[in-house]
Chain A
Amino acid sequence: MPRAPSPLAPRTGSARRPLPHLLPVLVLFTLTVPARAQVGPDTTTVEQDVQNALEDLDVENGDPTQLVERLTYLAENPLDINAATAEELAQIPAISLPLAQKIVQFRENFGLFGSIPELRTIEGMTGEVYDRARPYLTIGKTLEPTAPSPPRYPPPPSFREVLGGLQYEFIERITRRLDLGRGFSDDTSRTTYLGSPERLYTRLRARFRRRFSLNLTLDKDPGEPFKWDPGTNTYGYDYVSAHLALADFGRIKTLVVGDFDASFGQGVVLWRSFAPGKSREAVRPVTRFGSGIRPYGSTEENRFFRGLAATVMLTPRLALSGFASRRSLDASVLEPDTTALEPGVPVGVTTTFSTSGLHRTPTELARKDALTETFIGGDVSFSTGLARVGVVGYHATFDRAVRPGDAPFRRFDFSGKRAAMIGVYGHAPLGFATFFGEAARAPGNVFGGVGGVTAQLSSDAEAVVLFRTYPKDFVSLHGFAFGERNGATQNETGVYVGFRLHPDPRWLISGYFDQYRFPWLRFGVPRPTVGHEALLVVEHHPRRWITVYAQARTETKEAGAKLPDAGGRLLDGVRPRTRQSLRLHGDYQFSRALRFRARIEAVRFFEAGEPDAYGVLVYQDVRWRPRPWLQLDARLALFDTDGFDARVFAYENDLLYTFAVPSFSGRGQRMYALAKIAPDDHLTLQIKLAATRFEDVETVGSGLDETAGNRLRELRLQIRWKF
């Protein structure tokens, strides 16, 4: 049963912090502390963390579903503060790497924690951080002063133990637009979608704590046909993902057969999962480091590998990872009969990768699995618990040559059949600062990388500085390092400075400044360009049940434009564009059962020679839990923008394991209602009805999604059964 946060519960901590040097004494008197009662995960915190990370991100460069799933998983399988490594603890959105290192150091110096609130004695673990981190933490060991030292490697559980402790989970999700676009019409004279408008998602999973996982994920997007057609790799559902995974079995840290995700270092060489980019968190998302090999069961159809992967502990500090994958990718392939359309491109080659994962029309279906990638790689890393250094590399082979075409902006895109990459990464604390970085060599002997320093200056201040340089010809096929174009680890240099200040427990000031340069052209931008972005957030908690913040943001970036030369001829040029936004946001938790949330956001967009464009978003959210088994969420939002450039975004609550950050342009109203019914610990039902109504339009959308009328409604249903 999900548990709402208890804003009215007494604050633990500051008033009764035991002094650090007294802790060992306290520990001696505390013979056994029962493990935390198994209560349901705190999905409210997950939603808040996902919202913080995603709501200002224009979701173009990857699917954040993985982030949602990872945080949900973390809340459902909280980390043991007496066993987790610093890197594991730093996966919690509220905990920075320096703070995670302090937690581990504290544990090493003073012994195991007796209770979770003891974390409050650590410098930097403020009430706000503690409250946000708490849902992801547990304490799993009893404290017995006479206990023998723990084994060097976690002993593998017995077959009987695994079988007896398996938890099964079944999820079925059906979503459907109620107002359908032209693609779903019976028009035989034009292209339409091959399948039905429903999205069908099925997931079956068996897990034994964090140590064993068997998973099957099946997904059919709207418009995709539900049929058995091995010719197009369609087995009922369009997308099938499966894995079998073990973790912490003696020396085997991780073993995955099937679909896996591999992320190492800063993500310059290898990072398949999604990572949040710039957000109002300011410091934490920038200081990332890979979590190694993880089983994959998400619905994003591109960002994973398929094969065999393992991490083995050669010694307790030295880890060796190896992975091999062979999977097919979507791509456009030029066949002989189409060469006439684009002279200069050899026949039978792949021109562009297609990453939408949609296979709704014959054209899209033809791109499905058109290219096969064989991928092998490995990683060796040495960790002291606080510091880590590692080497990661891979070699990828495609079954046909990739030719990106002649367009100038594609000049440095990946080309050919093979790519190999190797990188060195590491992080280490030095005084109050932690240094981190990764440098890599890309095909063609091109070097690039990222490096920075983050500091926990005191309980009241943390900061980060990060430099990045990914040259224009730095081809990183599987990288996803920090940058303005979150995840596109090529053609960018920049410097980022971020900070978070707590001048008072009730005030938080955070912000960042990022300046960047794209040394080569980009799509629609015919020159190398520069840009910068700044954000400032002032957050105030006058009481535990009220949070208000004001956020100001400005970004200026050069974009392609037709500019006249001295003779009046129009030439391809670039011109700066600025987008500014000001947001006021308030959260008011009236009681455990009722929460309100309101926002007003104004956007201004301007470009020399063009009229300014403005946008406004206002919304009111209500969350009501009339009964422990019933939770209702509703929103009413009004938006009013002068077109696409001044569009507004609004993160929405959605079904478990999913998220929604719709963007709105034009003028209209958005409403949704979401009900979550959990009659017992095993069953959760969710239903969401959303409707957007635009003013003064005859149709909504374009192309095959063009829908007659001025409204779009969607119905979403999900059932989750755990047993």
Chain B
Amino acid sequence: MIGAGPFSGMHTHRPFLLLLLGCLACFARTAPAQSLEGGARAVALGSAATALHDDVWGLGNPAVWATREGRAVSFFASEAFGLSELRLGAMQLVEPTRFGAFALGARTFGFDGFRESHLDLGYARGFSLGTSRKIHLGVRLRYYQVSIEKYGSRGTVGLSVGWLAAVLPKVYAGFQATNLNAPRLAGREEFERTLSFGLSYLPDPRFRLLADAVKDVRFPLSLRAGLEVLPVQALALRAGVTTEPTRFTTGVGVRLSRLAADVAAERHEVLGWSPAFSLSVLW
């Protein structure tokens, strides 16, 4: 379904273009739970972020925004496998209000030859539904734009939803479904469509264990786990592991008053190390 417009020249260079898109889409598509997405804290925790209830980025689950009590601004940068072509920069703003939390996010990934940019608009809110507990529901609209040198650019919108709740006093459960509307750019080039379940266990405020199962409709089921330990209030040590692909992650977070800095490093079995860094201001 390649129509008129910037993509109409695809016919002539289709094999090359498909190859390029295929390679890049592989990174882009597995990205949502990898280092190419934002939040160095989530990266360090093996991207097991579906039930990471006090996260700013909400990339594992838009419902987490509803758990924030104050405004948050966060900036993120990463470079996958040390390749400057796979650099990513992102920012996120969360604004809690009486009517729920609003979120705004932007990111850009790639290089001049291929660039994928996102603009996110999110909303999340907690509901009690007649109980003394809260269920947090979130929704995210993401505008995707892909630009390919000499071919132009094209955009589309994807809808993602999630929920998060403390099912037991020390256990959070979360769920996210991304791109429910199956957005596509051209032909069959689709964005990720995932279903993820997450659990987070906090036996103590200084200790957190996370487990996620993430299934992309086109990729094998990926299992992820993360561990966060706070030896002192200001310092967080993190580690994580994932399957499909097998990756090990680690990271450190420092929190000083309203400022929080997180660094993460991820090791892919074959492709090597990817560093990530984020800086946040938390009100």
Residues of A within 8 A of B (CB): 8, 542-543, 546, 586, 588, 590-594, 596, 598, 600, 602, 616, 618-620, 636-638, 640, 667-669, 693, 695
Contact = CB atoms under 8 A, between A and B. Distances in A.
A593 B197 contact: no
A600 B135 contact: no
Given A588-B167, A591-B129, A591-B130, A667 B180 contact: no
Given A618-B221, A695-B218, A598 B130 contact: no
Contacts of A620: 175, 177, 195, 197
A668 B190 CA distance: 13
Contacts of B218: 667, 695
A616 B195 CA distance: 12
B193 A669 contact: yes
Contacts of A590: 129, 131, 133, 135, 165
B6 interface: no
B61 to A, nearest CB: 12
B152 interface: no
Contact of B217 (A592, A602, A638): A638
Interface residues of B, number: 24
7 smallest CB-CB distances across A and B, nearest first, come from A591-B129, A618-B215, A591-B131, A616-B221, A638-B215, A593-B129, A590-B135
Contact of B220 (A546, A594, A596, A616): A616
A592 B130 CA distance: 8
Given A594-B135, A638-B217, A542 B129 contact: no
Contact of A8 (B131, B163, B168): B131
Nearest to A636: B177
B160 to A, nearest CB: 12
B121 interface: no
Nearest to B173: A588
18 contacts: A8-B131, A546-B168, A588-B167, A590-B129, A590-B133, A591-B131, A598-B175, A600-B221, A602-B221, A616-B221, A618-B197, A618-B215, A620-B177, A636-B180, A640-B217, A640-B221, A667-B217, A669-B217
B195 A542 contact: no
A40 B215 CA distance: 39
Nearest to B194: A638
Task: Count chain A CB atoms within 10 A of each CB in B165, B182, B193, B195 and give the residue with the most.
Answer: B195
Contacts of A592: 130
Contacts of B165: 588, 590
Nearest to B223: A600
Contacts of A542: 168
B167 A546 contact: yes
> Which secondary structure characterizes the binding site on chain A?
strand
A588 B172 CA distance: 12
A616 B197 contact: no
Nearest to B188: A696
Contacts of A636: 177, 180, 195
Interface in B199-235: 213, 215-218, 220-221
Task: Count chain B CB atoms within 10 A of each CB in A546, A588, A592, A593 and give the residue with the most.
Answer: A588
Nearest to B171: A542
Contacts of B221: 600, 602, 616, 618, 640
Interface in B119-175: 129-131, 133, 135, 163, 165, 167-168, 173, 175
Contacts of A695: 217-218
Interface in B20-39: none
Contacts of B168: 542-543, 546
Nearest to A594: B129
B163 A616 contact: no
B215 A593 contact: no
B140 to A, nearest CB: 16
A543 B195 CA distance: 26
A543 B213 CA distance: 23
Given A543-B168, A638-B195, A618 B213 contact: yes
A705 to B, nearest CB: 23
Contacts of B175: 596, 598, 620
Contacts of A594: 129, 135
A668 B213 CA distance: 17
B42 to A, nearest CB: 21
Contacts of B131: 8, 590-591
B115 to A, nearest CB: 27
A668 B133 CA distance: 35
A380 B163 CA distance: 59
A593 B130 contact: yes
Contacts of A667: 217-218
A129 B24 CA distance: 55
A505 B64 CA distance: 34
Nearest to B135: A590
A208 B220 CA distance: 55
B217 A600 contact: no
Nearest to B175: A620
Nearest to A592: B130
B197 A600 contact: yes
A541 to B, nearest CB: 12
Task: Count chain A CB atoms within 10 A of each CB in B168, B180, B220, B221 and give the residue with the most.
Answer: B221
Contacts of A640: 215, 217, 220-221
A619 B213 CA distance: 11
A3 to B, nearest CB: 16
Given A586-B173, A590-B133, 12 more contacts: A590-B129, A592-B130, A593-B130, A596-B163, A596-B175, A598-B197, A600-B213, A618-B213, A620-B175, A620-B177, A638-B215, A640-B215
